[in-house]
Chains A and B, each alone.
Chain A
Amino acid sequence: MKFGAMNMEPGRMLRRKRAPMANLMRCLYLGAALSIGVVANEATVADDDTITIVSWGGPYVVSQDKAYFEPFTRKTGVNINLAKYDGGIEDLRAMVRAGELMWDLIDLTVADTLLACEEGLLEVIDHSRLPPAPDGTPAQDDFYEGALTRCGVAEIVSSTVLAFNAKVFPGEQPSKIQDLFDLEKFPGKRALQKKPIANLEWALMSYGVPREELYDLLSTERGLRLAFARLDQIKDHIVWWLDLSVPVKLLSREEVVIASGYNGRFFNAAVVLGRPIEIIWDGQLYELSGWGIPKGTPNYETVMEFISFATDTRRLADQAKYIPYGPARRSSEKLVRTHEQTGVDMRPHMPTAPANFMTAIAKDNLWYARINDRLTERFNAWLGE
């Protein structure tokens, strides 16, 4: 199945007999929803053997499809409907509260997992059902710290990075977080996500604050004030993005010179599509993300079976053949080799590659889980200033 096919039938998931939706809800999700038929003979599969997974779209979902969805359907005959979203737990919250669940499984960041779990929007996961590493190491010890949470199993380490269009800067190229804020040296528009995350960290980091002190300082009024003051300096030169696919487009069209985005998307644009896009690894903000099960799904057992299947050592390493996101298991890391399509060695493109990781910021998941709403409010107020 080709990725292009995914966009063809955006309404398919709505045909399912479960969850008759209110009109309002339909309007909310129709635009974002997309669905794929995973196997050709989908029509013959009973609805009970279909689960709906919501994930992030783009090259990421293609990598998931290749590494997890296709093999799972082949093995079990269970069809997978796919929906797309751009993160956050607002949709999930609305669905669970309304009792109109459309998803059986959700791919979300650990911060969102913690928050959703705290709010009772996710099922508790029994980690003992996860397969051990090939050498027998129990899953609990094989996954990285923080990858297994009460309601979640992480699959990847992904990273929010800055990237630039190399054609625009043929001479000196931006290489540091400070360069994002340096309009003299690197003039031009910047594309940043219309959320506090990453922007605040980078703004404060640009003052020379060591990465491990960022969240302690951002926890003070003074730290926030400094961060916003830094963002103020480039505010008129920022193009705000919401959709994850936008940064690559803006960079490719040279509408902006520097953009923030997920490293997987930038890798895809540069290596697969040959765009002149380069990543600035300085200050990359990495986080774990993975699976959570929406509260009240009727397909809990099937979904749990899928999670066990998709997070074994082999599958996690397989995903890295398609996208440079580090597997969340130690045992998988050793199996990472080349990019399936281009044969490029994937290891130097991983956020966790030693050279890329030197100044990496570990996203403070609990911090975001607890104060994201307050922070967003503050951020929006600043946007409006």
Chain B
Amino acid sequence: MATEPNTITRILRITAFGILTGAAASLAAIVFVEIVAQLNNLLFISPRSRVLAGETPWLTLMTIVVPTAGGLVVGLLCRYIAEDRPHTPSDVIRSVQLLSGKLPMRSSALTALASIVALGSGASVGQYGPLAHMGATLGSATSRLFKAGRTMGTIGVGCGVAAAISTAFNAPIAGIIFAHEVILRHYSLRAFAPITVASTMGFIVANVLFERAPLFRIQSVSVDHALEFLAFVIIGITGALVAVAFMRSILFCNRLADNIPLPSYLKPMVAGAVVGVVAIWLPDILGIGKETLRFAIIEDAFSPAELTVTLIAKILATALCIGFGFAGGVFMPAMLIGILFGALGGAGMEWVVADFRSDIAIYAICGMVAVTSPVIGAPLTSILIVFELTRNYDLTTAAMVSVVFSNVVAYRIFGRSLFDVQLSLRGFDLSLGRDKVVLDHRVVADYLTQKFTRLAPTLTLSEAKAVLTQAGNSEGYVVSTDGIYLGTVSLPQLLALEAQGQSVDERVDSVAAPEQLVLTSDTSLWEAMENMGDFVGESIPVLRSTNDRHLAGVVFEASIVKGYMDVQHEIRRDEHGAG
């Protein structure tokens, strides 16, 4: 088969693009994780640095001071970020779903910095969200560097996210799936190819070039009794409730923070102080909590009471930190909460069936994915992470059962994910489909035309008729001398008036009536489409805004339909293109 040189160039270009984006995102992720680890050692957050310091009043003081100061720094940094808040994967989703894939560089860089400070100073937040966001930003930057088209932007973002997740978890397949499942939300070969290259590159950089151990490891275990799958179903269902409680706590703390009469840059500091004080008795809630993650899969490491206390404390601490504006992710805290919950479930199971229970690690991991997957809206990714980290079929199958039930329940009572709910609270509702959100964000201003007949209010009816006849338009827009829209007259209307014996010398503004349908510049295409149903006129007048009745122009019904078709076409190209 003869291959066109064009195809080869294209493949090379896509590969280079994937490699570059993957390497950049992966290196950034490694540097990020390394800096956070060093800060944790330096600032007495990691258990090792705490034990090296010894049980001194100094350590107690630092336990409070460090997260508090971290909160202040994060708060101050956020003042320079667009919207005064750290950006999250939901901002990435928004940008990609709007077919843009363009992320603001300054805000993203400041978000990464704020996340490093937050994680470094022990806030109860995760690092995967910031890593994914950072990867997305780098992907967005490389696609601009490649001067790629608009849809390439979304793919670039996908590449960056995939590489970051692949690096962080040592799980290249999970990286690919995460980018598709959470960010892009469609599967096309066009996107799949470069994302796979990028994800693999992330894996190579993490493993071959730097020999980094995965952030956590799970030992192989097996499911001993078929009946235990029933337990995994129950863990899935109850895990969904834990996940929803966790997400609602975050949203609640968010509202709580809004109602606190403090400048917003001081709010993370409040959360930091609370976490610091609690950590004096319960250091498990500090920081990333890798050690707790490990302990949860060890039999008898926690008593059921300890599990319960740590679980609740971690939910509250994370909700407080995220809700009060600390930069950082929810992925890792959700994993921690979930694994503690799963271990608790395992302990309960032991109580019921005694020795007939399989290893606690299975229960812990089922709980982990049951809570994590509905929070980030990534059931497939969660299953694959388990598979890639354990390479254990039994365990993955068990996890799959929990994930499925958990997602069904959580979707019913909460929504697809925390990201989606956060977006819909900001007026960006993805639950009605991508075309709606895209149409929601295109405005009629882009489809305006000035090709219409403008009538001065002082014209007589006969003059108006002459102007319209000469222009060949059936509708005329009566606009005052300072440009205010007064009403519309149509040629048939004028003829009818004439037939009824109306005086032709009457002023046109006396008969002009405002159109039934009037749009404003910022009306979205979606809204225009919704309202256009009963409209029968030639074109729709568009005002500058609801308060400013200046006529900005008119829009033809056909233009709106064309805009709608354009969007459908772009989405189709983004989601189904092959090359």
Q: Which of A's residues lie within 8 Å of B, judged by CB?
A: 207-210, 212-213, 215-217, 219-220, 222-223, 226, 229, 364, 366-367, 370-371, 374
The answer to the question of B294 belonging to the interface, with a C-beta cut-off of 8 Å to chain A, is yes
Instruction: Give which listed residue, A212, A226, A367, A370, contacts B298 with CB less than 8 A.
Output: A226
B residues near A364, Cβ cutoff 8 Å: 48
Closest to A224 in B: B51
The answer to the question of B52 belonging to the interface, with a C-beta cut-off of 8 Å to chain A, is yes
Whether B219 pairs with A220 at a CB distance below 8 angstroms is no
> Which one of A219, A364, A366 has the greatest number of beta carbons of chain B within 10 Å?
A219
Closest to B217 in A: A210
Closest to A369 in B: B52
> Which one of A207, A229, A366 has the greatest number of beta carbons of chain B within 10 Å?
A207
24 contacts between A and B (CB under 8 A): A208-B219, A208-B298, A209-B294, A213-B291, A215-B48, A216-B46, A216-B47, A216-B290, A216-B291, A217-B47, A217-B291, A217-B295, A219-B52, A220-B47, A220-B51, A220-B283, A222-B301, A223-B291, A223-B295, A226-B298, A226-B300, A226-B301, A371-B52, A374-B54
The complex places the Cα of A208 from the Cα of B220 at a distance, in Å, of: 9
Instruction: Give which listed residue, A217, A367, A371, A374, contacts B294 with CB less than 8 A.
Output: A217
The complex places the Cα of A207 from the Cα of B295 at a distance, in Å, of: 10
Whether B300 pairs with A229 at a CB distance below 8 angstroms is yes
Given contacts A219-B52, A220-B295, A223-B295, 20 further A-B contacts (CB under 8 A): A207-B298, A208-B219, A212-B213, A213-B291, A215-B48, A216-B46, A217-B47, A217-B295, A219-B46, A219-B47, A219-B51, A219-B291, A220-B51, A222-B301, A226-B301, A229-B300, A364-B48, A367-B51, A371-B54, A374-B54
- Mark each residue of chain B from 43 to 86: 1 if its CB lies under 8 Å from any CB of chain A, else 0: 00011101110100000000000000000000000000000000
Whether B291 pairs with A370 at a CB distance below 8 angstroms is no
Q: Which of B's residues lie within 8 Å of A, judged by CB?
A: 46-48, 50-52, 54, 213, 217, 219, 283, 290-291, 294-295, 298-302
The complex places the Cα of A371 from the Cα of B51 at a distance, in Å, of: 8
Instruction: Give which listed residue, B50, B54, B294, contacts A213 with CB less than 8 A.
Output: B294
Closest to B51 in A: A219
A residues near B302, Cβ cutoff 8 Å: 222
The complex places the Cα of A212 from the Cα of B212 at a distance, in Å, of: 11
Instruction: Give which listed residue, B46, B52, B219, contacts A370 with CB less than 8 A.
Output: B52
A325 to chain B, nearest CB (A): 25
* Contact flag A367-B54 (CB < 8 Å), given A209-B298, A220-B291: no
A residues near B51, Cβ cutoff 8 Å: 219-220, 367, 371
The complex places the Cα of A32 from the Cα of B504 at a distance, in Å, of: 128
Whether A210 pairs with B301 at a CB distance below 8 angstroms is no
B528 to chain A, nearest CB (A): 58
A196 to chain B, nearest CB (A): 13
The complex places the Cα of A223 from the Cα of B301 at a distance, in Å, of: 8
The complex places the Cα of A213 from the Cα of B291 at a distance, in Å, of: 8
Q: 10 shortest A-B CB distances, which residue pairs? A: A219-B47, A219-B51, A208-B219, A219-B48, A220-B47, A370-B52, A207-B298, A210-B217, A216-B48, A212-B213
B261 to chain A, nearest CB (A): 39
A residues near B283, Cβ cutoff 8 Å: 220
B54 to chain A, nearest CB (A): 7
B residues near A366, Cβ cutoff 8 Å: 52
Instruction: Give which listed residue, B47, B50, B213, B300, contacts A210 with CB less than 8 A.
Output: B213
Closest to B219 in A: A208
A residues near B47, Cβ cutoff 8 Å: 216-217, 219-220, 223
A230 to chain B, nearest CB (A): 10
A residues near B299, Cβ cutoff 8 Å: 207
B residues near A207, Cβ cutoff 8 Å: 298-299
The complex places the Cα of A220 from the Cα of B50 at a distance, in Å, of: 9
Closest to B221 in A: A208
A residues near B291, Cβ cutoff 8 Å: 213, 216-217, 219-220, 223
B407 to chain A, nearest CB (A): 29
A149 to chain B, nearest CB (A): 17
B residues near A216, Cβ cutoff 8 Å: 46-48, 290-291
Closest to A225 in B: B301
B residues near A374, Cβ cutoff 8 Å: 54
The complex places the Cα of A346 from the Cα of B360 at a distance, in Å, of: 43
Whether B300 pairs with A367 at a CB distance below 8 angstroms is no
A residues near B217, Cβ cutoff 8 Å: 210
The complex places the Cα of A34 from the Cα of B424 at a distance, in Å, of: 80
Whether B295 pairs with A222 at a CB distance below 8 angstroms is yes
B residues near A208, Cβ cutoff 8 Å: 219, 298
B residues near A370, Cβ cutoff 8 Å: 52, 54
A residues near B294, Cβ cutoff 8 Å: 209, 213, 217
A312 to chain B, nearest CB (A): 30
The complex places the Cα of A367 from the Cα of B51 at a distance, in Å, of: 9
> Which one of A212, A223, A367 has the greatest number of beta carbons of chain B within 10 Å?
A223
The complex places the Cα of A367 from the Cα of B217 at a distance, in Å, of: 23
B residues near A219, Cβ cutoff 8 Å: 46-48, 50-52, 291
